[in-house]
């Protein structure tokens, strides 16, 4: 089996010491394919709306190095120093005088070009050579899809096209995204529906949104398969950060749809009531877009100083320990396609307070679900969790909850592309 794996997004993340949810999926697929003994993985990337091959030996080393970096084995010194300051603040017996915050996002025009990433993307690939013969093209990162040329070329060559769609949020909720992202993502979705052989979605909700979009736009619907995403090994039972004062954690990019402005407004109310007894809040994630309200709270609110902290680029090991020590993981998003951190929290048996939206009802049934507009309901839940017996078992620890895993995910993918239960890919999935 010869598979063209679109590594465009993964290669663009070469400089990052911590992944987003989509980045995790891209890496998991790369590892799965490379571990399959009877599969030839041919890494490719997009260049001028066409696909070019990437040096396979270099790509294999790149995947190993990226896994080590994201696991925390090769973190930058600056990241480690930031982790240490955050843990010191959380474990201090008294409220710190100042918050631990990462550097604010630089203006786009002031950001320097990343020469290392450019090198990896453009000089580890063959610019003009035709693609080798292959059976299947696999794209799980949304890249290369905004123009139909690559998919059309593959279709003309008789190569099956399998695409994973993570969400339709830029199309259905463009107000939460950067200007122009809605049109760009709409093009990706349209091209996928017109030219993909099979589509994988990460949740039933995403599948329903994709089908509804196809009906509205009178577009064809290739077979759509729901495959819940697996979790990294770090997000299992293990040790926790031991803090003398209660704290809560939110994990995710700091952007408007995460509803963090509401969360910070609630924390200000808590601080007005409790003063130095206010529980801490840690926002773990990179700065995204439409985040001005969050930045104003973090940088300018005196009530939140020493109480609310922000961190990015945490290793998986530190992040998992941080989540395990929290009174609850908070997920107040207005809209999600999957919400991997919420699923990770339930997999670790943690108390999860989440917005009452379709993906959370589907994926985290043991969570305490509250309408994302119900500020008083959220305030009550946080106060109850901060004063509850920390040793009491949370709802997500219920025996009925079974966390999704990559074995089941890749078995669905193998079946979707006609590989069968005894195929090399399905066997590799079972071995993970």
pLDDT band at residue 324 using 50, 70 and 90 as cut-offs: very high
Average pLDDT over residues 172-191: 94
Name the residue with higher pLDDT: 99 or 128: 99
pLDDT at 424: 42
Report the C-alpha gap between 82 and 98 in whole angstroms.
14
Residues 358-369: tens digit of each pLDDT = 999 999 988 999
pLDDT at 131: 84
Q: Does the pLDDT value for residue 343 go beyond 80?
A: yes
Q: How far is CA 115 from CA 5, 49, 107, in A?
A: 24, 22, 18
- φ/ψ of 64, rounded to 5, equals -65, -45
Fold of 236-397: Rossmann fold (3.40.50)
**CATH 3.40.50.2000 residue window(s) in the chain:** 236-397
Name the residue with higher pLDDT: 415 or 308: 308
pTM score: 0.88
Report the C-alpha gap between 102 and 203 in whole angstroms.
32
- CA angle centred on 272, ends 270 and 275, rounded to 5°: 85
pLDDT at 422: 41
Q: Does the pLDDT value for residue 407 go beyond 60?
A: yes
Residues 292-306: tens digit of each pLDDT = 778 888 888 999 999
Report the C-alpha gap between 74 and 24 in whole angstroms.
17
pLDDT at 425: 44
Instruction: Tell me the CATH number of domain 2-69+110-230+405-431, given options 2.60.40, 3.30.70, 3.40.50, 3.90.1010.
Output: 3.40.50
pLDDT at 190: 98
pLDDT band at residue 42 using 50, 70 and 90 as cut-offs: very high
Average pLDDT over residues 12-16: 86
Report the C-alpha gap between 348 and 332 in whole angstroms.
19
pLDDT at 363: 95
Identify whether the C-beta of residue 71 lies closer than 8 Å to the C-beta of residue 269: no
Give the range among 170-179, 324-333, 343-352, 410-419 with minimum mean pLDDT.
410-419
Tokens linked to 12: 């663009």
Closest CA to 171 of 185, 159, 160: 185
Percent of the chain with pLDDT over 70: 86
Identify whether the C-beta of residue 316 lies closer than 8 Å to the C-beta of residue 70: yes
Name the residue with higher pLDDT: 102 or 162: 162
Residues 255-300: tens digit of each pLDDT = 889 999 999 999 999 999 999 999 999 999 988 876 777 888 888 8
- φ/ψ of 247, rounded to 5, equals -145, 160
Mean pLDDT of the chain: 87
Tokens linked to 100: 């631990």
Give the range among 44-58, 126-140, 145-159 with minimum mean pLDDT.
126-140
Q: How far is CA 373 from CA 281, 296, 355, 377, in A?
A: 20, 21, 9, 9
- φ/ψ of 33, rounded to 5, equals -65, -45
pLDDT at 295: 83
């Amino acid at each position: 089996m010869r598979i063209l794996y679109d590594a465009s997004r993964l290669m663009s993340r070469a400089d990052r010491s911590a992944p987003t949810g989509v980045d995790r999926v891209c890496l998991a697929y790369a590892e799965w394919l490379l571990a399959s003994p009877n599969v030839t993985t041919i890494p490719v990337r997009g260049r001028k709306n066409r696909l070019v091959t990437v040096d396979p030996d270099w790509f294999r080393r790149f995947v190993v190095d990226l896994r080590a970096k994201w696991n925390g084995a090769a973190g930058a010194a600056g990241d480690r120093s930031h982790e240490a300051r955050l843990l010191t603040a959380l474990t201090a017996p008294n409220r710190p005088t100042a918050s631990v915050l990462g550097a604010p996002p630089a203006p786009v025009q002031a950001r320097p070009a990343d020469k290392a990433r450019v090198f990896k993307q453009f000089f580890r690939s063959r610019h003009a050579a035709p693609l080798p013969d292959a059976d299947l093209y696999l794209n799980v990162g949304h890249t290369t899809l905004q123009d139909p040329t690559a998919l059309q070329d593959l279709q003309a060559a008789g190569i099956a096209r399998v695409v994973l769609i993570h969400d339709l949020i830029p199309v259905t909720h463009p107000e939460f995204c950067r200007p122009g992202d809605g049109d760009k993502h709409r093009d990706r979705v349209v091209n996928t529906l017109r030219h993909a052989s099979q589509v994988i979605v990460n949740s039933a909700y995403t599948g329903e949104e994709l089908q509804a979009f196809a009906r509205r736009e009178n577009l064809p619907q290739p077979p759509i398969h729901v495959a819940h995403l697996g979790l990294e090994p770090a997000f299992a039972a293990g040790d926790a950060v031991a803090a003398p004062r209660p704290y809560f954690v939110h994990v995710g990019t700091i952007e408007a749809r995460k509803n963090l402005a509401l969360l910070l407004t609630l924390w200000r109310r808590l601080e007005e009531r409790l003063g130095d007894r206010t529980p801490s809040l840690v926002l773990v994630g990179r700065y995204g877009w439409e985040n001005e309200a969050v930045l104003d709270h973090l940088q300018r609110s005196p009530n939140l100083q020493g109480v609310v902290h922000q961190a990015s680029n945490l290793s998986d090991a530190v992040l998992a320990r941080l989540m395990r020590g929290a009174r609850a993981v908070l997920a107040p998003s207005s809209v999600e396609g999957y919400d991997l951190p919420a699923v990770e929290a339930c997999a670790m048996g943690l108390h999860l307070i989440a917005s009452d939206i379709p993906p959370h009802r589907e994926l985290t049934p043991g969570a305490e679900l509250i309408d994302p507009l119900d500020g008083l309901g959220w305030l009550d839940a946080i106060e109850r969790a901060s004063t509850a017996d920390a040793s009491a078992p949370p709802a997500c620890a219920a025996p009925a909850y079974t966390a999704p895993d990559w074995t089941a995910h890749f078995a669905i993918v193998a079946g979707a592309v006609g590989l069968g239960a005894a195929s090399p890919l399905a066997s590799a999935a079972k071995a993970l």
